[in-house]
Amino acid sequence: METLTVELGTRSYPIYIGQNLFSGAELLQQHIRGKQVMIVSNTTVAPLYLEQIMNMLAQYQSASVVLPDGEKYKNLDTLNQIYTALLENNFDRSCTLIALGGGVVGDMTGFAAASYQRGVDFIQIPTTLLSQVDSSVGGKTGVNHALGKNMIGAFHQPNAVLINTDTLDTLPDRELSAGLAEIIKYGALGDEPFFEWLESHMSQLLQRDVSKLVYAIKHSCEDKAKIVAADERESGQRALLNLGHTFGHAIETAMGYGNWLHGEAVGAGMILAAELSEKMGWIDKKDVTRLQNLTKLAGLPVNYPPEMTAEQFIELMMRDKKALQGKIRLVLLKSIGNAIVSADYDESALLNTLNEHHQPSTGH
């Protein structure tokens, strides 16, 4: 088992990465302070792992709530099911919530923990590659609104993150590819040696080679933990983690949450960011091609949905959390491994990028 720490002073917490992490209860129990535990899962993950986790918590007053599965349910109505379960079971502010599932479950459980009785403990047990390398680490929690993704939420750090790589055995191929988008992102934004490693080992990751997956997960979590420790609430450096995301969130919102997976939208969004960066003269065509090739190799789309227009993109991106004073801030590239956050780009170049890119999608 590998152990990392997200360094946040008194709120620092460990990330455990390895196989067979559900075989013993001690690892989980040491991060539970009270006697009440609520496990939040979904209809896909609960049949696979909920009983195992409940057995690990036999000595606690434990209960569970199973939510419908999918990004389209990441909203205030579904969130209310968690509050109802907590209240019906008379859970007090010493309780701990456990998120057992992918990014949607993790984000909603974290937000419920941030807001139930003004803040209770929670633990992340991410079961998808995307949630293991991204959403479970860093304390961003929240839900979507029909008008924008992740617009309602809070920063609330977990007590611990347990990444059991065995859960990837039951992950569909499409979800595995979606997770690889976030892994590629870490290389592209600030870690060119890791990007090169991914170019050499992508086929092994797709074949679910355990040692290569553990390396990629650990490396991604290390990169994210460093950035979160330096800028917990995204006042500066942490915004780099949004490479591809402003474009990607627009795709997810336009297409209806869940029709494009988050990682698929981020994959196409990173290509748009790279192409705009090339138009600005910041990166070479060969860098754009490298990113396109690696994204395709991971089984991800490199074109945005043909149904979307450039004007629709601009309108949705103006609503993004990173927009400030009427200007869309984007994460753009100076090279592979060197990203910047900038509102200082040519708006006509952005429109040209979106219009030129508008061709039939390669599928997802």
Active-site amino acid positions: 118, 140, 182, 224, 234, 238, 242, 245, 249, 262
Distance CA 284, CA 274 (A): 9
Distances (CA, A) of 250 to 233, 244, 313: 22, 10, 6
Task: Give the whole-angstrom CA distance, residue 53 versus residue 20.
Answer: 12
The label of the residue with tokens 């007090």 reads: 92
Count of CB atoms within 10 A of residue 59's CB? 11
Helix (H, G, I), strand (E, B), or coil: what is residue 30? coil
**CA-CA distance, 123 to 4, in Å (whole number)?**
15
Q: Between the CA atoms of 339, 152, 257 and 79, what dihedral angle is there, to the nearest 10 degrees?
A: 130
Joined together, the tokens standing for residue 98 give: 């456990």
Distance CA 251, CA 239 (A): 19
Q: What is the 3-state secondary structure (H, E, C) of 216-253?
A: HHHHHHHHHHHHHHHCCCCCCHHHHHHCCHHHHHHHHH
For residues 223 and 251, give the distance between their C-alpha atoms in angstroms, rounded to a whole number: 26
The span from the CA of 246 to the CA of 268, in Å, is 11
Burial class (CB in 10 A: 0-12, 13-18, 19+), 25: middle
* Angstrom distance (rounded) from CA 276 to CA 353: 6
Phi-psi region of 244 (alpha: psi -120 to 50; beta: other; left: phi over 0): left
Torsion sign, CA atoms 175, 176, 181, 182: positive
Helix count and strand count (H, E) for the chain:
13, 11
